[in-house]
Amino acid sequence: MIQQKLNKFITITNPMKNCFIFKPCKSDNSFKLVPQCKIEKDRLIQNILKEFNGKIIAETSFITIIEIGKPKITISKKGEIIVREVDQKEIEELSSRIMRLV
């Protein structure tokens, strides 16, 4: 994985050529992955449910919220991924696992 610091944001490119902008959120316990390529939202949701043994706790036409233990993953209609309630130590591992699912 290649990481390049851009101002306050980090661009993360994985070997599968999916590119994300990693943005820490204002809350200390959350971060956002903004895709720079088209994402199949339904496929991503199914992959997250399977990979993390998660469950959908809320779903609208605009967002889907998935609980994977303590952390909650929100996926927007545009494919932006927000992970909430995650420890600082878990951020890198969790973001890597999510990016591999795209």
- Give the structural domain span for 76: 2-90
Would you give per-residue pLDDT tens digits along the chain (102 residues)? 334 433 345 444 444 445 778 888 877 788 888 888 888 889 999 999 999 999 999 999 999 999 998 899 999 988 899 999 887 778 878 888 888 887
Residue 96 domain flag: no
Which residue matches tokens 């995650």?
A: 86
Residue 95 domain flag: no
Residue 48 domain flag: yes
Residue 69 domain flag: yes
Confidence (pLDDT) at 24:
80
Number of structural domains (the chain) is 1
Residue 46 domain flag: yes
Q: What is the dihedral of CA 42, 91, 12, 17, to 10 degrees?
A: -40
Confidence (pLDDT) at 3:
40
Residue 101 domain flag: no
Confidence (pLDDT) at 66:
96
Contact 48/38 with Cβ under 8 angstroms?
no
Confidence (pLDDT) at 18:
53
Residue 29 domain flag: yes
DSSP string of the chain, one letter each residue? -EEEEETTEEEEE-TT--EEEEEE-SSTTEEEEEESS---HHHHHHHHHHHHT-EEEEE-SSEEEEE-SS-EEEEETT--EEEES--GGGHHHHHHHHHHT-
Confidence (pLDDT) at 53:
94
